[in-house]
Amino acid sequence: MRIVRMKASFGGLRNRELALGEGLNIIEAPNEGGKSTWSAFLRAMLYGVNTKERDRQGYIAEKNRYQPWGGGPMEGSVELIWQGQSITLRRSAKGSTPFGQFEAVYTDTQEPVPGLTGANAGEVLTGVPREVFERSAFVGQGGAAIDGAPALEARIAALASSGEEDVSYSQVERRLRDWVNRRKHNKTGLIPRLEGELAEIDAALARQAKAFRLSQEAKREIDRLQAEHRLLEAERDAHLARAMAQRRERWEAAQAALAQAQGQVDNLEAEHTRHGPPPDRDTLKKAQEELNALNALHTSRRLTESQLEEARAAEAEAEAAAEDPLFPELTPDQAWQQASEDAEAAERTPRTGGLYAGGGILLAAGAGALVLGIAGVLPALWMGLALCGVGLAAGAALLAAAGTAKKRAAAAAAEILARYEAETPQDILGRANSYRESRVVAEQAAKKREELERTLSELNQRDEATRSRLLELVHPFAPGVTDSFGVSAALSRALNLDEKLSTARVRLEGAKKLADSLPRPEDTAADPGVEPRFDPAETAARLTAAEGELSRLRGGLAMAQGELNTLGAPEEFRARREAVTEELERRRAEYDAIAAALAALEGAHGQLQARFSPALNRRAGELLSRLTGGKYDKVALTQQFEALAEEHDGLTPRRALALSQGTADQLYLAVRLAVCGLVLPGDDPCPLVLDDALANFDDGRCALALALLEELGRERQILLFTCHTREAALLAEHPGVSIQTLQS
């Protein structure tokens, strides 16, 4: 079979077309260029879309994953050559089922291809079912590894034995193991279920025997307890008759105590409200506290009055000490100013130095003029004499004026010092300072007297207000009170009566409760004439215990009878037990036979595997040797389809997990190609689809793989999708290799 052309509206492919040639086709495309989508489209066109598949964590079902991105229906066609004829496959949506509509026609005539349906198209055209195709000729992206499947096992087994493909080892093994589990699974197996049923029957028989024994024991114990219960009831009635007589006595005493307590409360209430109802207890207590505060206020007032008298005397004494005739009605600052000015005046001396100096200068000038005249410097001698006379006269006048001013200043200073009775100007300032200090003392004394007067006034006001408030409070219930003593007595009396009334009311409440708790006794019951063995409490306890035990025994008897009625006749259980025992023995025999068959099957499978494994492993080893340049030349495939590779000169095979990713991909590609050669029909081989299967190969091994694929391409069509450009570059000049590039 060879693919000629594909057209698709599938996932990201929107009305896209891909034409293919014979042999090896290299389809180069970047990431998201549609390589994996074209591969999935070809598989879906052959085998359809699994509509039962559902999305799950980390996986999107194929029917949802490849819904066209443009929103249109999922549809497409594939033109192929099969058995020498050109056939066109078409699939489209059928209702809500993707690819549910199928059509297969001859390309030239458009006539339907007989026997080709949507369900069998893939298997008819490729020669293998879907699971074999996916594990051999179809290598999806990152899916080079191979796993087992019943169809693949059956196909391989058919090649190695009689050619029958109806059943595989895994299917038979699974069927036998299902039979084993059906018979001996821990929860649902027939053998555990029969064993459980047998245990239940034995338990039911044991319960029947126990229930019968308990019912007989309960009947005997009930008869004994009923006699004891009747005797205890008679003893209880005797206690009740005697208690009723005592109860009447207590009731009568309680009624008398209630009447006495009520009378006491009535008398106290009358006394308490004789002139009017007093305030509540808290108000009276608060009033007493105010009265105590008033007494303390009196003490404070007397102390303040005494302190005020002392302050007034101290103020008068300070005022007397502060009087000074030199500073009449002056403030301390004014007195200091005046004293400072007088001290300065007393200390001041007349400024006569200039006068004395001027006189001296004039005298000297006259003498000088005389000397110049005598010396002939001046024009005439008389001129020198005249200037000398004038200078001498003026100098003498200035000296006389200076002496007079000094005498007057001395007289004024003496008068100031005498007025202050001081010897020096500093004594004047000292007297002013003493005046100032005495005035400060007098002012402080006056301030203290004023503060005490204010305090006394406030105390008097508080005293009057408190007294008025207390009198106003007690007058409603003590109208005759006029002073603090009367207020105190009224408050004490009211509180005392309130205390007595409270006590009496508590006593009355207790008497009421006692009277209420004692109902009016009925007529005394007749004494049954039985002498009790126990006191009333023990008799009641024994009677209650007997009733409880009787109730328990009756309940146990009812349960035992119900158990016997529910379980049914023992004969039925014995018959059922015999039948279950026989069935259990039969199932155990079947289990042993199936286990033996399973062991035989495993032995036969081992022999069969020994027949086909060498051929498969040998071919895979040859292919791996070509893919790795001879480094690995041996391959072993386990029953679970795990591949192992061994180096040319190696000692032990290596698991795929121990190899590099590229070598592991080469190992599984070799296995895939070997499986293709064994299980796929060889007369008209189906295409080999490789989606980025060489992505992890280095350049050297990629070239080896391409050489192998080019050789295999002479036998079957190969579609190699790749995201690299090296494949096309390596085979660009090779005839028979089709190379094309898809756009993203």
Between CA 50 and CA 99 the distance in angstroms is 10
CA nearest 703: which of 628, 607, 593? 628
pLDDT tens digit string along 563-604? 777 777 777 777 878 888 888 788 778 767 777 776 765 655
Residue 271 structure tokens? 């006394």
Tokens 């009276």 correspond to what residue? 284
The fraction of the chain above a pLDDT of 90, given in percent, is 22
Is the separation of the CB atoms in 231 and 549 below 8 Å? no
Which pLDDT belongs to residue 672?
A: 87
Between CA 68 and CA 483 the distance in angstroms is 111
The fraction of the chain above a pLDDT of 70, given in percent, is 83
Between CA 4 and CA 293 the distance in angstroms is 122
Residue 703 structure tokens? 């070239």
Which pLDDT belongs to residue 212?
A: 77
Region class of 338: left (phi > 0), else alpha (psi between -120 and 50), else beta: alpha
CB atoms under 10 Å from CB of 380, counted, come to 10
Which pLDDT belongs to residue 134?
A: 86
pLDDT tens digit string along 667-706? 888 888 988 888 787 788 999 999 998 999 999 999 999 9
What separation in angstroms does the CA of 307 have from each of 289, 451, 562, 664?
Answer: 27, 11, 106, 117
Helix axes 381-419, 425-474, angle to 10 degrees: 30
pLDDT at 160 over 50: no
pLDDT at 163 over 50: no
- The better pLDDT of the pair 546, 389 is held by 546
pLDDT at 713 over 50: yes
pLDDT at 158 over 50: no
Residue 605 structure tokens? 């499978």
Tokens 């509540």 correspond to what residue? 280
Calculate the average pLDDT of the chain. Answer: 81
Q: What average pLDDT does range 644-659 have in this prediction?
A: 83
pLDDT at 605 over 60: no
